């Protein structure tokens, strides 16, 4: 079956087809086996998986703002997530840059999976579909992963006017928030990142 179109309509229009849409998208078993072999042992003892998406590469203009890592740190702190109960996966074009921002946590990135860098986006997407708590970017990439995630009890995304992360329902929301920022505002967010 082929799907085509812009795909940025409010997701309540698709909610009645949630299970069909989720069933249409599955991962190659080689990807899931590699992911499970590396991530699985780190979740031993019932630890939960937090995934944050720090979109960087092509962001920094218009509505595509770079939500500062500090917003994700603040959200994790407010949720009471600790290294005793949670493991963190960072999905980003430059995840190593943010690893040290979460001291004490076991931090996993696509780089830790021992595969070619070209596979990183696939593993990042897979991780987001497996998260127990998911903090996305203002990005259709991570938003769609949230739609496919049937496990998470918490979904949040950046809201520039609020200066932080806000809850959302992947099946009852706009995929992208129309929060156009000035070049000066983009620069300020990049500086505090």
pLDDT tens-digit map of 132-190: 999 999 999 999 999 999 999 999 999 998 999 999 999 999 998 888 889 999 889 88
pLDDT of residue 148: 97
Task: Evaluate if residue 6 carries a pLDDT over 90.
Answer: no
Tell the CATH topology of 29-192: Rossmann fold (3.40.50)
User: What percentage of the chain exceeds 90 in pLDDT?
Assistant: 78
Asked whether 136 and 53 are in contact (CB, 8 A), the reply is yes
pLDDT of residue 7: 67
pLDDT of residue 39: 97
Task: Evaluate if residue 1 carries a pLDDT over 80.
Answer: no
pTM (predicted TM-score): 0.93
List, for residues 88-113, the tens digit of each pLDDT value.
Answer: 999 999 899 999 999 999 999 999 99
Return d(Cα 147, Cα 170) in angstroms, integer: 5
Q: How confident is the model at residue 62 (pLDDT cuts 50, 70, 90)?
A: confident
Average per-residue pLDDT for the chain:
93
Q: 18: Cβ–Cβ under 8 A, 6 or more apart, which residues? A: 147, 171
Q: What is the chain's Cα-based Rg?
A: 16
Q: How confident is the model at residue 192 (pLDDT cuts 50, 70, 90)?
A: confident
Q: 13: Cβ–Cβ under 8 A, 6 or more apart, which residues? A: none
DSSP code of 61? B
Return d(Cα 145, Cα 75) in angstroms, integer: 20
pLDDT of residue 104: 95
Domain ranges in the chain are 29-192
How far, CA to CA in Å, does 26 sit from each of 17, 21, 39? 16, 10, 18
pLDDT of residue 76: 97
């Amino acid at each position: 079956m082929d799907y085509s179109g812009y795909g940025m309509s409010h997701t309540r229009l698709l909610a009645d087809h949630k299970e069909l849409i989720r069933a249409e998208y599955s991962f190659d078993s080689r990807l899931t086996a590699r992911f499970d072999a590396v991530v699985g042992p780190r979740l031993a003892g019932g630890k939960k998986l937090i995934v944050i998406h720090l979109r960087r590469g092509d962001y920094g203009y218009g509505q595509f703002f770079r939500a500062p890592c500090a917003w994700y740190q603040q959200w994790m702190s407010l949720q009471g997530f600790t290294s005793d109960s949670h493991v963190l996966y960072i999905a980003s074009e430059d995840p190593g840059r943010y690893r040290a921002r979460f001291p004490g946590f076991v931090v996993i990135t696509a780089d830790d999976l021992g595969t070619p860098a070209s596979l990183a986006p696939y593993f990042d997407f897979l991780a987001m579909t497996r998260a127990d708590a998911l903090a996305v970017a203002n990005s259709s990439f991570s938003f769609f992963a949230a739609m496919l995630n049937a496990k998470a009890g918490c979904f949040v995304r950046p809201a520039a006017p609020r200066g932080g992360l806000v809850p959302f329902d992947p099946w009852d929301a706009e995929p992208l928030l129309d929060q156009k920022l000035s070049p000066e505002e983009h620069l300020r967010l990049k500086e505090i990142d």
